[in-house]
């Protein structure tokens, strides 16, 4: 069993790691502790997560001993309107950590990490009254996926051909996130440059689901505020929230 406790002393302030053997959802665990007054920077890592979820409640496949499933408690100083940018900060942090082992990783706005056209990881940001929970799932050493996702999912092991240290990958993600979380207010343009460089949707026809229903168009890029820019027959639209985003 890999020793995650060994990376604790090397994590940047204010991040502290708490390990759970088995949970239903690390996001739910962090939410409970946040509402009880837990401080900014708490990380809960699950050795086994039984009911992880993605956006809109979709299940997240996270086999014990193979993947990373963890959530971070953030008490942002920035205005709450800027908190959705934490998904971009987390996505860029994961991509940069992955690039320690592989060439440029892709970001599928706003919350998925892609490699070679397949999903490697996902981010789920949920807000509370005075805190945000940043949940991250990453396929590290998984070699076999369920049939329903086998054609669209990948792992670091499958891409590199070697087993990687999950504690080492986690530590790399946190080091990058310690920097990028501070950029959602100040220096956001610099963070966006990294996201734009890796965005796999830009310039392609896409479909997506909004509160008003399904929409189709060309993704023109990412706005200065972090919104997806969709051009359709009615013009150019900036969207902050969308689901089921697919290349057409």
What's the confidence (pLDDT) of residue 58?
Answer: 54
For the residues 144-149, what does the mean pLDDT come to?
A: 90
What's the confidence (pLDDT) of residue 53?
Answer: 56
Parse the chain into domains and list their residue ranges: 4-198, 205-247
Report whether 29 contacts 71 (CB < 8 A): yes
What's the confidence (pLDDT) of residue 176?
Answer: 98
Higher-pLDDT residue of 155, 149: 155
Tokens of residue 97, six digits: 């950590």
**In the CATH hierarchy, which top-level class contains the domain 4-198?**
alpha beta
CATH architecture group of domain 205-247: Roll (2.30)
Helices (H), strands (E): how many in the chain?
5, 12
For the residues 84-105, what does the mean pLDDT come to?
A: 94
Closest listed residue to residue 47, CA positions, set 69, 71, 18, 25: 69
Q: What is the pLDDT of residues 48-83, one digit of tens each?
A: 887 655 555 455 666 778 999 999 999 999 999 999
Q: What is the pLDDT of residues 204-220, one digit of tens each?
A: 999 999 988 999 999 99
Report whether 218 contacts 204 (CB < 8 A): yes
Query: Quick one: which H or E segment has residue 10?
Result: none
For residue 192, the tally of other CB atoms under 10 A from its CB is 21
For the residues 126-132, what does the mean pLDDT come to?
A: 96
Average pLDDT along the chain: 92
> Which residue's structure tokens are 């369920």?
146
What's the confidence (pLDDT) of residue 128?
Answer: 95
> Angle CA(176)–CA(181)–CA(184) in degrees, nearest 5?
135
What's the confidence (pLDDT) of residue 81?
Answer: 94
For the residues 169-185, what does the mean pLDDT come to?
A: 97
| pTM for this prediction | 0.93
For the residues 137-161, what does the mean pLDDT come to?
A: 93
Say if residue 245's pLDDT is above 80. yes
Percent of the chain, pLDDT > 70? 95
Closest listed residue to residue 136, CA positions, set 95, 183, 78: 95
Higher-pLDDT residue of 155, 58: 155
Taking CA atoms, 108 is separated from 118, 155, 174, 232, 246, in Å, by 10, 16, 20, 19, 9
Say if residue 174's pLDDT is above 90. yes
What's the confidence (pLDDT) of residue 57?
Answer: 47
């Amino acid at each position: 069993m890999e020793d995650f406790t060994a990376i604790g002393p090397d994590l940047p302030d204010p991040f502290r790691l708490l390990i759970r053997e088995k949970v239903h959802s690390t996001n739910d665990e962090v939410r409970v502790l946040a509402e009880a007054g837990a401080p900014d920077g708490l990380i809960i890592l699950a050795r086994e997560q039984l009911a992880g979820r993605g956006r809109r409640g979709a299940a997240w496949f996270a086999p014990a001993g193979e993947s990373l499933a963890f959530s971070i408690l953030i008490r942002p100083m920035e205005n709450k309107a800027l908190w959705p940018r934490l998904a971009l900060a987390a996505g860029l942090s994961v991509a940069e950590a992955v690039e320690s082992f592989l060439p440029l990783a892709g970001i599928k706005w706003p919350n998925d990490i892609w490699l070679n056209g397949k999903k490697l990881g996902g981010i789920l940001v949920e807000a509370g009254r005075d805190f945000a929970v940043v949940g991250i799932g990453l396929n590290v050493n998984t070699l076999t996926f369920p049939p329903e996702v086998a054609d669209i999912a990948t792992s670091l092991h499958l891409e590199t051909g070697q087993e990687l240290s999950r504690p080492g990958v986690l530590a790399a993600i946190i080091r990058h996130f310690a920097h990028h979380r501070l950029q959602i207010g100040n220096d956001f343009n610099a963070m966006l440059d990294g996201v734009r460089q890796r965005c796999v949707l830009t310039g392609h026809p896409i479909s997506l689901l909004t509160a008003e229903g399904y929409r189709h168009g060309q993704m023109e890029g990412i706005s200065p505020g972090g919104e997806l820019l969709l051009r359709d027959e009615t013009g150019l639209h900036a969207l902050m929230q969308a689901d089921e985003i697919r290349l057409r």
